[in-house]
Amino acid sequence: MAQSLQTVGGGYVGEVGSVDQRNRVLRNTYWLLALSMLPTVLGAYVGVATGAMATLGAGMSAIVFLGGAFGFMFAIEKTKNSAAGVPVLLAFTFFMGLMLSRMLSFVLGLSNGPGLIMTAFAGTGLIFFGMAALSTVIKRDLSAMGKFLFIGAILVLVASIANIWLQSSTLMITLSVLVIGIFSAFIIYDLQRVKNGLETNYITATLGVYLSVYNIFSALLSIFGIGGSRE
- Provide the residue-wise pLDDT of the chain in tens; the chain has 231 residues: 333 333 334 444 444 457 888 889 999 999 999 999 999 999 999 999 998 887 777 778 888 999 999 999 999 999 999 999 999 999 999 999 999 999 999 899 888 889 999 999 999 999 999 999 999 898 888 888 989 999 999 999 999 989 888 888 899 999 999 999 999 999 999 999 999 888 899 999 999 999 999 999 999 999 998 876 555
**How many angstroms from the chain centroid is the CA of residue 200?**
19
Distance between CA 58 and CA 122 in Å, rounded? 27
User: How deeply is 165 buried, as exposed, middle or buried, from its count of CB atoms within 10 A (0-12, 13-18, 19+)?
Assistant: exposed
Q: Please give the pLDDT value at position 17.
A: 55
Is 43 within 8 Å of 94 (Cβ atoms)?
yes
Separation of alpha carbons 65 and 150, rounded Å = 19
**For the whole prediction, is pTM greater than 0.85?**
yes
Beta partners for residue 12, in sequence order:
7
- For residue 140, the tally of other CB atoms under 10 A from its CB is 7
Helix axes 202-227, 169-195, angle to 10 degrees: 160
Angle between helices 145-166 and 58-79 (to 10 degrees): 150
Q: In this structure, are strands 11-13 and 6-8 parallel, antiparallel, or unpaired?
A: antiparallel
Four-point Cα dihedral 61, 65, 66, 67, nearest 10:
100
